Structure 1
Amino acid sequence: MRTILFLTIFLVSTPFFSQNEDEKQIKAIYDKALTNGKAYDWLNHLSNQIGGRLSGSVQAQQAVDYTKAQLELLGLDKVWLQPVMVPKWVRGIPEFAYLETKPGLTTNVPICALGGSVATPDGGLKASVVEVQGIEDLEKLGKEAIQGKIVFYNRPMDPTKINTFSAYASCADQRYSGAAEASKYGAVGVIVRSLNLRLDDYPHTGSMAYGNIPVNQRIPAAAISTKGAELISTTLKLNPDAKFYFKQNCKQLDDVMSYNVIGEITGSTYPDEIMLVGGHLDSWDLGDGSHDDGAGCVQSMDVLRLLKETGYKPKRTLRVVLFMNEENGLRGGKEYAKVAQSKKEKHIFALESDSGGFTPRGFSIDADPENLKQIQGWRSLFEPYLIHLFQEGGSGADIGPLKNDGIVLAGLRPDSQRYFDHHHAENDTFEHVNKRELELGAATMASLVYLIDKYGTVPPTKIKG
């Protein structure tokens, strides 16, 4: 009778002991992050001592050297650089633009070249403007209405979408493919409304591509501020003959060598099972890349430090990867996955932070139903920290190439309402990052990494069985 009673008490109480242990470890992680965090100091250096880290630039290499040195100071088991060839696009001297309503009567418009664009002619480009709401409008208008003109893409982000990344995704095609499509109808250039939910004077850059169009047939592409877009749209309604002028001096150079920065703690029990956490080290050049994605890099670095300093010894190998060239090529993510595959490395989990350093809300998880269910089952452990989002969805661009049936992918999801105020713009700077919010994000990531490491993932064979 006593044996049965003991077993009953043991079986009932064991999960509570386990949860209590997890609660203590997670609290220790948050306490350490909020009282002795390193992420904010690291970001201060990346942003204010190095600045914008355009792929292939001197600043990108400085960021590689700095983060490698900081990881070495953490006393990890291994730190190394992974070579990767990256594109080198340079902006040149600042762009200039104006709207001309009558000869000699002009209004300046904030503008920046899109990443990957060709330059305008040396004297700049001036032409009439045709406004469209998206690529689909080009076919409706036809070549006769477009030839010899500048196409003005003016579809705004949808303010009714609470998930601002969904609003962004619904407009990004006009920035990325707008020039390639407009050139088919004889356009001489394109200007694109910045992907930003508020009205301001900051133009937002971003990547674009020409596909297979020969270099001598490519047309220049630029982004204008949202206020500039409103001005042009209103003016064209009153004066359809208004002309737009812009000048940019950007160019594409030969690829150069750069690096992914990698550090790891070797697992004590399952060293061949790799868990990855990371962000991308490159940024655009207009600001200093604090939110996109300096925040994600320093949070990922701090994940390993927080686990080390709270005394947790991981069962599995924990690896931080600071990817190069996410913004205009994804070369770092692709190269990392290629090398991992060639070495037959077994990645079971990867977590990326590339949505800014704002208040963390939870995670978006790309996993099979069983692994999704397991992670959602830990929700109560995060509720004291106001983390509530555990939803199925995408993870991150850099870890995407690792996707296979045996890996769980996840992305940190901070509050997104202010992210696109800064995304790819001159005001993506250090003063717009809140220290406490950044540290909460690092602790949230470290807590999920801890739980995955402790309990593992559900193997594909078990799911199928």
Structure 2
Amino acid sequence: MKRILLLTLALSSMLSFSQTDEETIREIYTQSLTNGKSYEWLDYLSNQIGGRLSGSLNAELAVQWGKEELEKLGLDKVWLQPVMVPKWVRGTKEYAYIESSKKQTTNVNICALGGSVATNPLGLKAKVVEVHNFEDLEKLGEAQIKGKIVFYNRPMQADLISTFNAYGGCVNQRYQGAVEAAKYGAVGVIVRSMNLRLDDLPHTGSMTYDDLPVEKRIPSAAISTNDAELLSASLKLDSDLEFYFKQSCTQYKDVLSHNVIGEITGSEFPNEYFVVGGHLDSWDLGDGSHDDGAGIVQSMDVLRLLKESGIQPKRSIRVVLFMNEENGLRGGTKYAEEAKRKGENHVFALESDAGGFTPRGFSFDCSEANFNQVLSWKPLFKPYLIHYFEKGGSGADVSPLKSDSNVLAGLRPDSQRYFDHHHAANDTFDAVNKRELELGAATMTALVYLFDKYGTNPLPEQSQIKN
């Protein structure tokens, strides 16, 4: 009888100290906002290491830094996953000017696009033909394009509220512009920067030559939005003007790099894996604070916040600092290949790769049952002004993990200022707000906590909030 009484009292005590989901999530936000590490980590990554282009020394310094910081968290496992990545080097600063038919010159701001070939060491000068899309190229034909520089001047669509939709509507001119222009005999390509505001900062980004032979590849550069406006207006007044640019970039052979992985092993279902992550590499013009230093440090802090909040995950939760998202997606592809080879069951993956701005919610690539479960959690996020829960994409690095049964998600911060900084020299630490960054880390942790607690693929009757 005494034994039963003691067991009853112990059970009663455990129940009285159990937290509701609201209380647990409140604790997560409190920890992030008063005891967060994300901003401190980002300060070091951005200001002590800097831009981290795949294959560079800085990228390798970031790998070692990430491994050391994860080891300090006391995770169950931390390791490096080898991956071969491209090595492209920008070289000396690019130079460009507009030359009128009267030989007057005006300097403009450009940068080579990632993966582009160099110009002749003396530079390239030619007449310019302005287009807005690939259909314009076809209409003009070789007769009007051969021997000229093609100037792609399609702006991001300003009336689209989703700036990512605006970006998606014009980024093909940057990525495929050189291949398409080369078909008609163009000698170079200048692309309007992917930026909604008018400024003097050129925005780089990846481009492709597909299977174009090396000898037919033409140099490709981005021009700032202010200078794109200037060039377009100048062409209307003087169609015989010429454009000069010089860049000295080089593509080398692939080199060895690594994904950085840390894990908290699940207490009940250790063979069910959660992934939370972002990409460790960045472009080289700024220090990559928004793209994607913010996602890296937020993902690292998810595991730390779980530990600080006293949460022992049921499932194994991994943070993955992916290498080479910007110009190859080699890290995300390699991680998925290894997971498949080992027969690992990845049931959930969350990516942060949209900047460190105020979190608004998530987009989900999942079944209706899982999405309905997410919708049932909306009241838990309402106090934190998190309201955006939509089906859609997740993230580039986690997308290779997609299966018929798992859940992929992407953190969705406010995007209105993101493309002011994206791939440009002003993607720097001073552009990140500490509180916004910490709110994002807490929001990610809350979603991981809920999916770990209730699982994926719920039955209809299980898709309700449980305390």
Scaled to the shorter chain, the TM-score interval is over 0.9
CA distance in 1 between counterparts of 2:216 and 2:138 reads 20
Structure 1 SS opposite 2:222: strand
| 1:3 corresponds to | none
Distance in structure 2 (CA, Å) of the matches to 1:390 and 1:147: 49
C-alpha separation between the residues in 2 aligned to 1:359 and 1:145?
47
**Aligned mates of 1:296, 1:360 — CA distance in 2:** 12
Q: Secondary structure at the match of 1:81?
A: strand
* Equivalence for 2:152: 153
Q: Do 1:406 and 1:460's aligned partners in 2 also have CA atoms closer than 8 Å?
A: no
Q: How far off its partner does 1:237 sit?
A: 0.4
Whole-angstrom distance in 1 between the partners of 2:246 and 2:306: 51
Which residues in structure 2 correspond to 1:253-268 (within 5 Å)? 253-268=252-267
| Code of the aligned partner of 2:367 | D
- Give the equivalent residue in structure 2 for 1:358: 357
Per the alignment, residue 141 of structure 1 pairs with 140
Cα offset for 1:102?
Answer: 3.3
Query: Given the two structures, how large is their TM-score scaled by the length of structure 1?
Result: 0.95
Instruction: Show the counterpart of 1:294.
Output: 293
- The one-letter amino acid of 1:426's match is A
Stretches of structure 2 lacking an aligned partner (at least 5 in a row): 1-15, 463-467
**CA distance in structure 1 between the partners assigned to 2:18 and 2:442 by the alignment:** 18
Alignment partner, residue 318 of structure 1: 317
Q: Is the 8 A contact 1:99 1:245 kept in 2?
A: yes
Q: Is contact 1:194-1:225 (8 Å) kept? A: yes
1:41 is aligned to 2:32: no
Quote the residue 2:334 is aligned against: 335
Please report how far the alpha carbon of residue 208 of structure 1 lies from its aligned counterpart in structure 2 after TM superposition: 0.2
Structure 1 residue 172: Cα displacement: 0.6
Q: 1:271 offset after TM fit, Å?
A: 0.3
Question: Following the alignment from structure 1 to structure 2, what is the Cα–Cα distance between the partners of residues 44 and 117?
Answer: 31
The separation in 2 between residues aligned to 1:343 and 1:396, in whole angstroms, is 23
Counterpart Cα distance in 2 of 1:135 and 1:303: 43
The residue type equivalent to 1:374 in the other structure is Q
- SS of the aligned residue for 1:329 comes to coil
Query: Hey, what's the Cα distance between the residues in 2 that align with 1:117 and 1:376?
Result: 44
Residues 364 and 409 in structure 2, CA contact (< 8 A), matched pair in contact too:
yes
- 1:406 to partner: Cα distance: 2.1
After superposition, where does 1:26-425 map in structure 2 within 5 Å?
26-425=25-424
The CA distance in 1 between the partners of 2:18 and 2:374, in whole Å, is: 14
Q: Is the 8 A contact 1:56 1:256 kept in 2?
A: yes
Distance 1:378 1:136 in 2: 46
- The answer to whether the Cα contact below 8 Å between 2:365 and 2:409 also exists between their aligned partners in 1 is yes
What amino acid does structure 2 have at the position aligned with 1:316? Answer: R
SS in 2 for 1:168: helix
The alignment partner of 1:231 has SS state of helix
The alignment-based identity, stated in percent, is 69
Q: CA deviation at 1:443?
A: 0.1
Deviations 1:145-202 (A, max 9, x none): 1000000000000000000000000001000000000000000000000000000000
Partner Cα separation in structure 2 for residue 79 and residue 259 of structure 1:
12
Distance of 2:94 and 2:418 partners within structure 1: 24
User: Aligned-pair distance for 1:134?
Assistant: 1.1
* Structure 1 pair 216–462 and aligned structure 2 pair: CA distance change class (3 A): farther
Q: Letter of the 2:193 partner, please give it.
A: S
Report the Cα offset of residue 60 of structure 1: 0.1
1:269 positional shift: 0.3
Give, as a single letter, the amino acid of the residue that structure 1 aligns with 2:327: N
Q: Which letter does structure 1 place at the counterpart of 2:93?
A: P
How many Å separate the matches in 2 of 1:267 and 1:461? Answer: 25
Q: Whole-Å Cα distance in 2 between the matches of residues 318 and 98 of structure 1? A: 52
Whole-angstrom distance in 2 between the partners of 1:172 and 1:460? 41
Q: Is the Cα–Cα contact under 8 Å of residues 358 and 437 in structure 1 kept in the other structure?
A: yes
For 2:208 and 2:456, locate their aligned partners in 1 and report how far apart those are by CA, in whole Å. 38
Q: Which runs of 5+ in 1 are unaligned?
A: 1-16
* One-letter amino acid matched to 1:388: H
Output the TM-score relative to the length of structure 2.
0.94
Deviations 1:57-94 (A, max 9, x none): 00000000001100000000000000000000000000
Q: How many residues get paired?
A: 447
Asked whether the 8 Å contact 1:28–1:310 carries over to 2, the reply is yes
Residues 264-295 of structure 1: CA distance to partner in whole angstroms, max 9, x if unpaired? 00000000000010000000000000000000
Partner of 1:7: none
Equivalents in 1 of 2:370, 2:348: separation in Å?
Answer: 11
1:394 aligns to what SS in structure 2?
coil
- Give the superposition deviation at 1:19: 11
What is the rounded CA distance, in whole Å, between the counterparts of 1:32 and 1:77 in structure 2?
Answer: 21
SS at match of 2:21: helix
What do the CA deviations read for 1:400-448 (whole angstroms, capped 9, x no partner)? 0001112100000000000000000000000000000000000000000
Shift of 1:357: 0.1
CA contact under 8 A between 1:118 and 1:251: conserved in structure 2?
yes
